[in-house]
Amino acid sequence: MKKVRMALLVTLVLMVFAFPAPGAEERTLNLSTLAPLTTIDPHATSNIQDIIFHRQIFEPLFFQNEATGKYEPRVAESYSISDDNLTYTFNIRKGIKFHNGEALKADDVVFSLNRALKSSKVRSYLASVAEVKALDDYTVTIRLGQPNAAFLNSQNMIMILSRKEVEEQGDEFGTKLTLAGTGPFYLTSLQHDVEWTCAAFADYYRGAAAIKKLHYVPITEASAGLIAFESGELDWYIAPIANWDALTNNPKYRTELVTANHISYVAVNYEHPPLNDDNIRLAIAYAIDKDAMNIACYDGNAVNADFMAPPENTGAPTKGVVYNYDPEKAREYVKKSAFPNGTKIGIINCSAGGYFEKMAQVLQSNLADIGLICDINRLDSATNLEMARNQKYDLLCTGLSPYGDYESLRMYSYTKMKGAYMVKYEGEKFDYKTMDDLWDAGIATTDLGERETIYSRLSDWIAGTATLLPIFHKVQPYAWTPNLVVPVNYPNYPQVYEWSWAKK
């Protein structure tokens, strides 16, 4: 009897602890990232999980809205471009305060941009910048070495920091609590790999955020994250697609599928025989069943891709050379090639753990259907990347996130960017100079129509080589509690500032 009573008591205590009842006003928003924070120095990371969080506390000069593609003023109120397209003049917003309470001045902007220029992690965004100068406390000019139509897009990736704060922390900046940002939230506690918290910045120039407190935890295991979300430990979560149907059919949750700014593709190394045979590459291009890949990876919820960038990206082509699933045509190309049915065409590389290994398996099956045999090499992501860079692959299943402008794909093919490309076009096989010239031309003009024409030609050139084969744009299965009002779910970077608690 005594034991039973004791057990009841313990259960009761546990339940009380498990369901804390916070006041509605001060309710904390619980969020998660898919990986621990590596740093909170926005100039010292190119990791998307870091950036998703950094965007809540730091801001660039101009912000590109992912949903509309438009640029919105943040640290800078307005900008002007010189006639030669080489000088950008930014008018800094007056009265902006850093989280430490100090006013933001042009000097901080210059400092931040120069700091970014020295960082191996982000300086590629500013590759065209020749000089950054403050004209006065609220005007900054940036002079480019050559015209760059995508400059506004790339400056969107560079956050403005408080010079004083950064210099005071020195080498330790990024590893500890900092108030160097101007964003709607500021850090209140920080344990990179356990949890970190933020509070709404009262002096934020667009008005303080509706949600006052944020709490982040890193959850690397998707199924664990989902359980955490369902048991109320998280308010908003990027759910695993396998559980999507159950979530959408559950009235306890709000859900939305948003197409990510992302392209999953297959790269073909044309230098490795028999992949150097044009007919074999075309056969591969026609053999790929994008629908099957979509079903295997995203239950058919992803958006099949015709081109290497989502249509929302500035300058992204909407028509041109497209390969669609046609096994008959694929077999014809195999027949036309110098290789018999059952030819081994090499190994498909992919990184372990994500959906790329699913793509690889469907690809292998698709190719087997048309009589091309290949193996799969599942590698840890670092090794996979290293092998891809060094062209040590035959076929590669991978993906990338453009920044919102077709130009951001340049680094994956432009031959002058040594080592960055996924397919190395430099060589005898293709007229790669034409491609390089098109990339250069694409940013030399700010005229959008002109750019689109150039990128269409570029897209066709690349498609013509049948070396970069777009598959689909993945989706973000967002789920959140009905207590939370989320006006817009963005493709990649959530804007927590826009969110609020539902009124009872």
Partner 1 sequence: MAVAGVSTFNSTQEEVLIFKKESRWKEVIRRLKKDRLAMLGLAVVCAMILFALLADAIVPYSVALKMNLKLKLALPSWAGGPAGYWFGCDGYGRDLFARCLHGSRVSLLIGFATSFATLAVGSLLGALVGYVGGRLDDLVMRALDIFSAIPSTLFAMAVVAAMGPGIVNICIAISLTNIPGFVRIVRSSVLNVAEQEYIEAARAGGASIPYILVKHVLPNTVGTLIVQTTANVASMILTAATLSFLGLGINPPQPEWGALVSEGKEFLRTAPHLILFPGVMICVASFSMSVLGDGLRDALDPRLRN
Partner 2 sequence: MHRFIFKRLLMMIPIVIGVSFLIFVIIDMIPGDPGSNLLGAGARQEDIDMLNEELGYNRPLLQRYGKYMYDALFRFDLGKSYATKKPVVTEISNRLPISLTVAFNAILFSLVFGVPLGVLSAVKQNTLFDRIPTGLALLLAAQPAFLIGLLLMLIFSLRLGWFPANGIASWKSYVMPMIALGLPYGGRQLRFTRSSMLETIRQDYVRTAKAKGATARLVIWKHAMKNALLPVITVAGNSFGILIGGAIATETLFGLPGLGSFIVAGIKQKDVPVVTGGIIVFAVVFSFVILAVDLSYAFVDPRIRAKYSGRRG
What are the residues binding partner 1 (CB under 8 A)? 222-223, 240, 242-243, 245-246, 291-292, 295-296, 299, 352-353, 357-358, 360-362, 364-365, 368, 375-380, 383
Locate tokens 């207590």: which residue? 483
- Total residue count of the chain as it appears in this document: 504
Q: Residue 416 burial (CB < 10 Å; 0-12/13-18/19+)?
A: exposed
Please say which residue, 123 or 143, places its beta carbon nearer to partner 2.
123
Q: What is the footprint of partner 2 within residues 122-151 (CB under 8 A)?
A: 123-124
Q: What is the footprint of partner 2 within residues 419-458 (CB under 8 A)?
A: 419-420, 422
d(CA 388, CA 406): 22
Q: Is 496 in the site for partner 2 (CB under 8 A)?
A: no
The CB-of-240 to partner 2 minimum distance in angstroms stands at: 12
Q: What, of partner 1, partner 2, none, does residue 114 touch, CB below 5 to 8 Å by kind?
A: none
Please say which residue, 36 or 300, places its beta carbon nearer to partner 1.
300
Q: How far apart are the first and last CA of the chain?
A: 43
Strands (E), 34-158: 62-64, 71-73, 76-81, 87-92, 129-136, 139-144
Please say which residue, 27 or 378, places its beta carbon nearer to partner 1.
378
Please say which residue, 246 or 373, places its beta carbon nearer to partner 2.
246
d(CA 387, CA 393): 7
Binding segment for partner 2 (CB under 8 A), chosen from 42-50, 292-300, 303-311, 358-366, is 42-50
| Among 27, 121, 272, 457, contact with partner 2 (rule: CB under 8 A) | 121
Q: What, of partner 2, partner 1, none, does residue 191 touch, CB below 5 to 8 Å by kind?
A: partner 2
d(CA 120, CA 304): 34
Q: Is 289 in the site for partner 2 (CB under 8 A)?
A: no
In this structure, what token pair is assigned to residue 184? 């709607």
Q: What is the footprint of partner 2 within residues 345-404 (CB under 8 A)?
A: 380-383, 385-389, 398, 400
Q: Residue 207 burial (CB < 10 Å; 0-12/13-18/19+)?
A: exposed
The CB-of-329 to partner 2 minimum distance in angstroms stands at: 31
Locate tokens 């074999």: which residue? 280
In this structure, what token pair is assigned to residue 385? 């990347």
Please say which residue, 116 or 379, places its beta carbon nearer to partner 1.
379
Contact (Cβ atoms closer than 8 angstroms) between residue 155 and residue 404: no
Q: Is 219 in the site for partner 2 (CB under 8 A)?
A: yes
Quickly list DSSP for 421-464: -SS--TTTTS-HHHHHHHHHHHHH---HHHHHHHHHHHHHHHHH
Contact (Cβ atoms closer than 8 angstroms) between residue 392 and residue 384: no
Residues with Cβ within 8 Å of residue 436, at least 6 apart in sequence? 414, 415, 416
The CB-of-194 to partner 2 minimum distance in angstroms stands at: 5
**Which of 135, 154, 136 has its CA nearest to residue 144?**
154
State how beta strands 254-259 and 236-238 pair. unpaired
Please say which residue, 97 or 378, places its beta carbon nearer to partner 2.
378
Binding segment for partner 2 (CB under 8 A), chosen from 38-46, 148-156, 438-446, 461-469, is 38-46
Determine the 3-state secondary structure of 188 from DSSP: strand
Q: What, of partner 2, partner 1, none, does residue 222 touch, CB below 5 to 8 Å by kind?
A: partner 1
Q: Residue 176 burial (CB < 10 Å; 0-12/13-18/19+)?
A: exposed
Sequence-ordered alpha helix ranges (H) in 118-221: 151-155, 163-169
Q: Is 113 in the site for partner 2 (CB under 8 A)?
A: no
The CB-of-264 to partner 1 minimum distance in angstroms stands at: 16
Q: Is 38 in the site for partner 2 (CB under 8 A)?
A: yes
Q: What, of partner 2, partner 1, none, does residue 296 touch, CB below 5 to 8 Å by kind?
A: partner 1
Q: What, of partner 1, partner 2, none, does residue 218 touch, CB below 5 to 8 Å by kind?
A: partner 2
Please say which residue, 417 or 485, places its beta carbon nearer to partner 2.
417
CA-based R_g, the chain, Å: 25
Please say which residue, 119 or 351, places its beta carbon nearer to partner 1.
351
State how beta strands 468-473 and 395-400 pair. unpaired
Q: What letter represents residue 312's amino acid?
A: E
Q: Is 170 in the site for partner 2 (CB under 8 A)?
A: no
Q: Point out which residues bind partner 2 (CB under 8 A).
A: 14-15, 17-19, 32, 36, 38-39, 44, 46-47, 120-121, 123-124, 171, 174-175, 191-195, 217-221, 223-225, 227-228, 230-233, 380-383, 385-389, 398, 400, 411-412, 417-420, 422
